[in-house]
Amino acid sequence: MNNKSQLYIFAAVIFCTLVFLSSFSYVVIENPTEEVKQIYDNFIFESYYTINNAVYENKDINQQVKNLTITFIDYSKQKNINLGIFYVLIIPAREKSYIVNYLNSKANINLINTILPGTEEELNIGKNLTIELDNRQYSFNIPEGNDIQLKVLIRKQ
């Protein structure tokens, strides 16, 4: 075999490798920064007390969590972090679920309902919840019982 044919074979191998590697699609999930993680942990901590306080004082739980969410989004903007928050508040005693979207993208719920950015819906979602955001699906099982549940997704936008 002469040098010219070896060069063509080598070029063909390189070309096939590049085609093979470029055919994959990668999903990269960034690890949150320490600041975002602290805001998330703080939101979860505060939402627990907000819900308990709303139940104790017989206030509108959804409105209290919504106020907390808006406060946290404003707080993150002061820290120069553009956060979006999406949550599902499940209140079994009322047989209602409140779905609130403060992200920059629409969300599909159980592949039926669409929640646009900056809006909220009141739905009965059943025992399974599937949220699709930007072609990613998040699935939750909703256990039976009387416990109020809050499913939260916080993203840097």
Interval 30-65: pLDDT, tens: 566 787 788 888 888 998 899 989 888 999 988 999
Q: Does residue 3 belong to any structural domain of this protein?
A: no
More confident residue, 99 or 2: 99
DSSP-based three-state secondary structure for 29: coil
> Can you tell me the distance from the alpha carbon of 134 to that of 154, in angstroms, rounded to the nearest whole number?
14
State which amino acid sits at residue 99: I
Asked if pLDDT for residue 144 goes beyond 90, the answer is: no
pTM of the shown model? 0.70
Q: Does residue 16 belong to any structural domain of this protein?
A: no
DSSP codes, 74-120: HHHHHTT--EEEEEEEEEGGGTEEEEEEESSS-EEETTTEEE-TTEE
Q: Does residue 126 belong to any structural domain of this protein?
A: yes
Q: Does residue 65 belong to any structural domain of this protein?
A: yes
Q: Does residue 11 belong to any structural domain of this protein?
A: no
Q: Does residue 14 belong to any structural domain of this protein?
A: no
User: Around Cβ 59, how many Cβ atoms within 10 Å?
Assistant: 12
Q: Does residue 66 belong to any structural domain of this protein?
A: yes
For the stretch 101-131, pLDDT in tens is 898 888 887 767 777 777 777 767 667 778 8
Phi, psi (5° rounding) for residue 87? Answer: -145, 155
> Can you tell me the distance from the alpha carbon of 131 to that of 114, in angstroms, rounded to the nearest whole number?
10
Q: Does residue 15 belong to any structural domain of this protein?
A: no
CA distances from 36 to 9, 91, 110, 118 (A): 50, 28, 28, 21
> Can you tell me the distance from the alpha carbon of 5 to that of 119, in angstroms, rounded to the nearest whole number?
64
Q: In which band, very low, low, confident or very high, does the pLDDT at 67 lie, cut at 50, 70 and 90?
A: very high
What's the whole-number mean pLDDT along residues 67-85?
Answer: 88
- Total number of domains constituting the chain: 1
CB 64 within 8 A of CB 74: no
CB 66 within 8 A of CB 101: no
The domain containing residue 149 runs over which residues? Answer: 34-156
